[in-house]
Structure 1
Amino acid sequence: MPEESPPEPSEPPGPGSGEAVERTRAVLAGMGAPESLAAPLVSALGPGAAAELAGDPWRLLALRQVTPEQADTCARHALGAAASPDDPRRGRALIGHLLHQAIRYGHTAVGEQHLQSAARSLGVPSPPDAISAALDHGEVMLFETMPEPDDAEPGGGEPPEMPEPERHYALARVGLAEQELGEGITRLSGTSEPIMDPVTAAETLEAAAQRYGIDIAPQTSAALGAVALRGVTVLTQDAGSAPAVAHALAGAAAIAAGSETGIAVAAPTAQAAAVLNAELAGIGPGTGPEVEVVPLAALLECDRPGSFRRGAALPIDAGLVVMAEAMALDVEHAAALVEACADGTHLVLVADPAQAPSASPGTVVRDMIDSGTVAVAELPSTAEPGPLARLATLAAQGELGQVAAPGREVVVVPASSGTEAAHRTVQLLTDSIPRVLRLPAEQVQVVAATAAGDAGTEALNAACKERLNPGPGAHHGFDIGDRVRVRADGPGYAVGDTGHLREAGGTGARVELADGRLVTVTDPAHLGLGWAVSVADAHGGLWPAVVAVFPPETRGSRPQVYTAMTRTRGHLSIVHAAGPDLARAVRDTATIDRRTRLADILREG
């Protein structure tokens, strides 16, 4: 299932950015490259992009849309006979290009042999020299891991030789984030003390259950006992665990209050936080738990992409920090969260391991579980799962099945082509769901399996805009009233948020998020149309209703189909134009493999 890759990080335009773009445009013209690349290059390389590009035409490869062949052509245009395959600048740039490609597939690092082979296939005469040049430039980092030693031969023979370390290479920002994440988790595990003993925790949970009028399952109580004792805990859930998750959050709040440690609870996006807050509000109305779920970017006080006020110098003011929908966490956001937890903080990740990994690099939760270094406890599924949970459970088991849904919780709409799938999707969004379920289109999210094609996110967004909010795109391609998705973190908003454009002016776009807050997005590149989003973009979001679209081009997997199915607590319409291939993918493609280092870092301690 091809996913729209997350955007490359970019900074909001600063003073003088217009001049930087003009200078870059002139350099591009001189090398025969499209001048439209100037603004993206300034975002990627900074205000000195023109000088960098003039000194090294292969810096064009900083942009994902530029291929090595295109960069070579521009280099020959700029350098003439001086452009050669063994130019150190070329080798360095191609190593960076390969690692950027790996990131887009979710890998955090690439093994040495694999990287050298890939570089050789691009015509790099000496991959080791190219890797050395990339390391010297500082954009790439080397990480070494010692393999597990073989058991010594019996009989008192010579001790085995020390094995060669396994070498992996990573882009500096991702490699450092993963390293710091592993070290931070180890720090929290090593500095924590129990915040409540097991007997007191059990009594506290029993009192909370009576106060809220709920029944906290023994399995949930046992899981919360681990939370009270251990510094880092993963609480696993499944498609039918929503009530248990709400009870666990309420119970964690009670433990935090009883131990006077304080609690902070985050979700990846504003819409997920809104859904979880609504579920918490349904616990003991008027006497419910005094805890509010906030978007992660708000908890960390993000001020621009990749920059957070909360950190080691200004940690989160809580001794118990809980992250819900944690499968959406990539290594960079997870590292920022862990860094913002002071020594002794208890960190809890609540996650459904059957979901796809994060849109950005890493498999944080899976690696933590596989490392065997953190506490893992399972939250129970409800005894009587509804149609949505039953359908998703079948998918998690490898079956694209059917379930009875007398309340129309699940509707499957077959389509014979991408064109018909797009028509059915728009019909569901604008007519059928609002009319039958009394849900406005604003509460319905389209989640598509592909970006391209007649029923991919691009075509669906164009069709939805034409139907719901036609206009000329007067504000950097958008119109007031457009539904938008956020492509980067910023003050008050997070990547993956969806909302509506309410105002636009010199200071930026004013977007109303799912929780009613108005935020200002200063960089137009950080917004995209949001009536339809990819499965990757939907990860970490929850909506009252979802239309999941599987066009004919879909190449699916079990985790991605399951993730699409679990983005709603209320209603799911499936527009199915993928034929038998989708069922085959759910049955046969059980995992999404990524190359990561976190589990090894944690085991090394």
Structure 2
Amino acid sequence: MPSRGTDPDAPAAAGSPEGGPEAAEAPEAAQPAEAAEAAGAGEAAKTAAAAGPEAAEPQAGASGSGQQTGDSESEASEDGRPAAGEAGSGAVREAGAEDEETGPEAGAPSEAEAELAAQRELRARIEERKAAKGGPVDSGGKLSGTAAELLAAVRAVESGEKSPTEFFDSPAFPPRRPSPAAAPSARPRAAEAPRRPPSPDPLTVRGAAAVLAEGGAPETLAGQVAGVLGERSAQLLREDPWRLLSVPGVRPEQADAFARALLGAECGPGDRRRAVALVSWLLERAALQGHTALETSAVRDALAGQSVPSPEEALQQAVAEGAVLVFQDGLEDEAGAAEEPGAPEGAGASGEAEPDGPPAPVLLGLDRYALAEESLADGLARLIRTGHGEVWEGPELVRAVGAHGVVLHTGGEAARAEAVAVAQAARERGLRAAVAVHSENGRRRLGSEAVTMAGLLSGEQGPARDDEGGFALDVLAVLDAPQLDVETAAMLVESLPDGCRLLLSGDPAVLGSAGAGRVFQDVLTAEVCPRIASRTPDPGPIGELVSGIGAGELNEVAAPGREVVIVPVHDAGEAVHRTVQLVADSVPRALGVPTEDTQVIAVAHGGAAGTRALNAALKQRLNPGPGRFGGFDAGDRVAYAPAPGRTVLGTVVSADAEGMRLECESGRVTVPRERVGSALRHGWAVTAHQASAMRWAAVVAVVPGDAGAALNRAWAYTAFSRGERHLSVVHGADKALAEAVASRSAPARTTRLRGLLVQLLAAAE
């Protein structure tokens, strides 16, 4: 990396990077509103803060060391995503931690919640279709019998004393759909795009509010409670006060206080209802960190941390009541889960226990993620089996797509053109082809022919659907594949007709999805379809720097045109000052890059040099104002989270009774008034997870001195690769960055997709 300079105006000499901008990001899934903080939060936010339940940030959570979730920096949820813990038991322990942001949204369910509800409905339809085929949901059978029997079953399987088949209903995978050549397609009708459910009935909301008030909880939660629990929400809360934990943002200590107020002396830490609610809550929190399942030992440890007298019995009660599912179909080891970008292809765990080794761990999961992974595995296997085997002339990637139903393509930013060329080659052969990307920013860089994943699934962009609900497509190239979470990927694959060719393309070294799962990595390590690695490196000093990071080395790079500049700082205050100076003055003056084309990327939302502190300073310099629109002013740059895992950047235009009006890359967007406090934050500075799949002319990456524990290779790789022409690193972490790049990979995620896919295709042979 070039030598340090106060700003891009300084001579670009060569020097050795001591640290760098990286760090785990906090969950963004729920993306608490900065606006609410800046403006004083408003009455609803104040009430919620006083009463307790805080909104979780997420697609996201912070994982690893720091605030990241899963393999990526769990950004609260820019997308709405998780962010707070590490894999395995660590993830569960972090799940108990308090979220950084507060302010559960009152009233009707948010767009993110509505989308999740629609997804759950879709999963239910998929499950019904599978049941109609005559087979149970493979690998997802629940234990049966009394709590004592369940406890004995889990203990026996974990110890290896008995075979899992004695306790688990896990029949072999039945053969799936035949290829089109053998028989007509039997693909079930794909579900329509998710629709926002109607707002809860006012009477239901009032009833829930009355019970909440009786228990000392904020009445502003009534809308969310009614949306989650339905028409009987008031009755259900009285019968089981810990159902309050099902509302996003509510923490165990808050639910306990609510239960004590309603139940009095009947309330205790060993209450069965409390145990069941805590198990579900722990798994929901783990999902925010990227996990689709957790080992039973991790859940038991977390329950003990919540003062549950008998964690094992509590676990069995949750299983017996159907709150969670039990699996034992192989667990990815951490080496496979966090496969290094430079590792040999196919490296990683098999997910199967060795013949003479201990049995695979017993996993617990929520039905929504279990169903999504099983549906996704089924859909991918269907596409793989219905590959055409045609001979296409052209580059290696084009030939592979012609011959196979599913193809994987790995590479950096420059490699995106190779995936786009596949779609063009398909069109030249008279086939219907489309290219889908993660963000509107990525779509803009490719041109109007590309579609965003959200636009494709909603029907707002891309091809129409056929009579069965599938896309009228022969070839679909998905760029930014590492950003696919398991639920989105399941919806996508379920919508592809038999015989459609699917190309999944992306850079496996970047931070993973903001939502649960690690789809791209799981399919890569399953080794069930061709994998083509791009030989086209990203150009220039930034490309050279990022390539080294991917290999675990923070190298010196020559930057004669000030493409990479290191700005050393001593403390967080200086880091904020230098960042503002770079964005407002140095980069525009020395490099000719306008302020609006420069993006600041921070390690996390909180802290003296996190996104909140940076955005406050940048607003004061670039667009000072009183925050007349709920903490925002016309001209403010903002980050909007319309749904978990998605971040849309824009500029405030105006506000009225309907909500905040933004000018975004996709056009005008209106953020509903009730969503401004929870889904909108200032956006001059964002986390690396929010910045995934987006690029700007210039990037200023801020790595403060207290970011060391949160840094990892994936964070550095993602943050540093977002700049097209220039990268400034405001660096105060000394040697922590280089150490993180060399030895700390992204936190592992516990998932089941790889094992399911391997088992499914093996059974069909």
TM-score with structure 1 length normalisation? 0.83
- The one-letter amino acid of 1:301's match is S
Is 2:366 the counterpart of 1:171? yes
Is 2:516 the counterpart of 1:365? no
Cross-structure match for 1:445: 599
CA distance in 1, matches of 2:225, 2:614: 29
Cross-structure match for 2:14: none
- The one-letter amino acid of 1:298's match is G
Change (3 A) 1:423 1:18: farther
- The one-letter amino acid of 2:368's match is R
Is 2:223 the counterpart of 1:223? no
CA distance in 1, matches of 2:706, 2:431: 51
- The one-letter amino acid of 1:545's match is A
Cross-structure match for 2:743: 588
Cross-structure match for 1:190: 385
Query: Given the alignment, which residue of 289, 292, 295 partners 1:108?
Result: 292
Percentage of matched positions with identical amino acids: 39
**Is contact 2:465-2:472 (8 Å) kept?**
no
Structure 1 position 125, deviation (Å):
3.5
Is 2:408 the counterpart of 1:234? yes
- The one-letter amino acid of 1:142's match is V
Q: Secondary structure in 1 aligned to 2:725?
A: strand
**Is contact 1:450-1:551 (8 Å) kept?**
no
Matched ranges for 1:30-109 at <5 A: 30-35=214-219, 37-38=221-222, 41=225, 45=229, 49-63=233-247, 65-109=249-293
Structure 1 position 569, deviation (Å):
2.1
Query: Given the alignment, which residue of 593, 597, 621 partners 1:467?
Result: 621
CA distance in 2, matches of 1:224, 1:49: 54
Structure 1 position 126, deviation (Å):
4.0
Aligned residues: 549
CA distance in 2, matches of 1:512, 1:186: 41
**Is contact 1:326-1:540 (8 Å) kept?**
no
Is 2:484 the counterpart of 1:329? yes
Change (3 A) 1:313 1:116: farther
CA distance in 2, matches of 1:117, 1:587: 31
Q: Secondary structure in 2 aligned to 1:489?
A: coil
Structure 1 position 434, deviation (Å):
2.1
CA distance in 2, matches of 1:80, 1:328: 46
CA distance in 2, matches of 1:60, 1:458: 29
**Is contact 1:91-1:131 (8 Å) kept?**
yes
Q: Secondary structure in 1 aligned to 2:728?
A: strand
More deviation in 589-598 or 42-51? 42-51
Listed one character per residue, the Cα deviations across residues 409-434 of structure 1 (whole Å, up to 9, x for unaligned) are: 21221111111111111222222222
Structure 1 position 35, deviation (Å):
4.7
CA distance in 2, matches of 1:181, 1:311: 20
Listed one character per residue, the Cα deviations across residues 417-456 of structure 1 (whole Å, up to 9, x for unaligned) are: 1111111112222222222222222222211112111110
Cross-structure match for 1:597: 752
Query: Given the alignment, which residue of 498, 503, 506 partners 1:343?
Result: 498
Listed one character per residue, the Cα deviations across residues 30-67 of structure 1 (whole Å, up to 9, x for unaligned) are: 22334555555556556765544333222332355443
- The one-letter amino acid of 1:260's match is G
Change (3 A) 1:422 1:581: same
The structure with higher relative contact order (CA 8 Å, sep 6+) is 2
More deviation in 551-560 or 117-126? 117-126
Is 2:184 the counterpart of 1:10? no
Cross-structure match for 2:417: 246
CA distance in 2, matches of 1:567, 1:103: 26
CA distance in 2, matches of 1:311, 1:535: 38
Change (3 A) 1:414 1:185: same
Structure 1 position 19, deviation (Å):
6.6
Structure 1 position 296, deviation (Å):
1.0
**Is contact 1:301-1:310 (8 Å) kept?**
no
Query: Given the alignment, which residue of 445, 448, 452 partners 1:275?
Result: 445
Matched ranges for 1:423-434 at <5 A: 423-434=577-588
CA distance in 2, matches of 1:403, 1:234: 31
**Is contact 2:200-2:226 (8 Å) kept?**
no
**Is contact 1:356-1:592 (8 Å) kept?**
no
CA distance in 2, matches of 1:357, 1:586: 17
Cross-structure match for 2:648: 497
Structure 1 position 94, deviation (Å):
0.6
Gaps of 5+ in 2: 1-22, 31-79, 81-111, 115-195, 331-350, 761-765
Structure 1 position 302, deviation (Å):
6.3
More deviation in 46-55 or 394-403? 46-55
Structure 1 position 402, deviation (Å):
2.9
CA distance in 1, matches of 2:558, 2:360: 55
Structure 1 position 558, deviation (Å):
0.5
Change (3 A) 1:400 1:165: closer
**Is contact 2:419-2:479 (8 Å) kept?**
no
Listed one character per residue, the Cα deviations across residues 532-570 of structure 1 (whole Å, up to 9, x for unaligned) are: 111111122222222111122212001111011112322
Cross-structure match for 1:255: 425
**Is contact 2:597-2:697 (8 Å) kept?**
yes
**Is contact 1:275-1:543 (8 Å) kept?**
no
Change (3 A) 1:275 1:145: same
Change (3 A) 1:567 1:343: same
Q: Secondary structure in 2 aligned to 1:348?
A: strand
CA distance in 1, matches of 2:722, 2:201: 39
**Is contact 1:174-1:332 (8 Å) kept?**
yes
Query: Given the alignment, which residue of 364, 378, 395 partners 2:533?
Result: 378
Q: Secondary structure in 1 aligned to 2:473?
A: coil
Query: Given the alignment, which residue of 554, 559, 562 partners 1:408?
Result: 562
Q: Secondary structure in 2 aligned to 1:454?
A: coil
Cross-structure match for 1:540: 693
Cross-structure match for 2:469: 314
Cross-structure match for 1:509: 660
Structure 1 position 148, deviation (Å):
4.3
Is 2:670 the counterpart of 1:520? yes
Listed one character per residue, the Cα deviations across residues 88-118 of structure 1 (whole Å, up to 9, x for unaligned) are: 2101111012112212221111122322332
- The one-letter amino acid of 2:372's match is A
Gaps of 5+ in 1: 153-159, 203-220, 278-290
- The one-letter amino acid of 1:197's match is V
- The one-letter amino acid of 1:536's match is H
**Is contact 2:287-2:516 (8 Å) kept?**
yes
CA distance in 2, matches of 1:100, 1:107: 9
Listed one character per residue, the Cα deviations across residues 225-268 of structure 1 (whole Å, up to 9, x for unaligned) are: 11221111110003xx51x4214412x13321133221111111
CA distance in 2, matches of 1:369, 1:312: 32
Structure 1 position 599, deviation (Å):
0.6
CA distance in 1, matches of 2:523, 2:741: 25
CA distance in 2, matches of 1:28, 1:54: 9
Query: Given the alignment, which residue of 674, 683, 706 partners 1:530?
Result: 683
Q: Secondary structure in 1 aligned to 2:697?
A: strand
**Is contact 1:496-1:540 (8 Å) kept?**
no
Change (3 A) 1:178 1:296: same
Structure 1 position 361, deviation (Å):
1.7
CA distance in 1, matches of 2:360, 2:556: 50
Listed one character per residue, the Cα deviations across residues 328-351 of structure 1 (whole Å, up to 9, x for unaligned) are: 111122122212211111111111
**Is contact 1:482-1:500 (8 Å) kept?**
yes
- The one-letter amino acid of 1:230's match is H
Change (3 A) 1:531 1:124: same
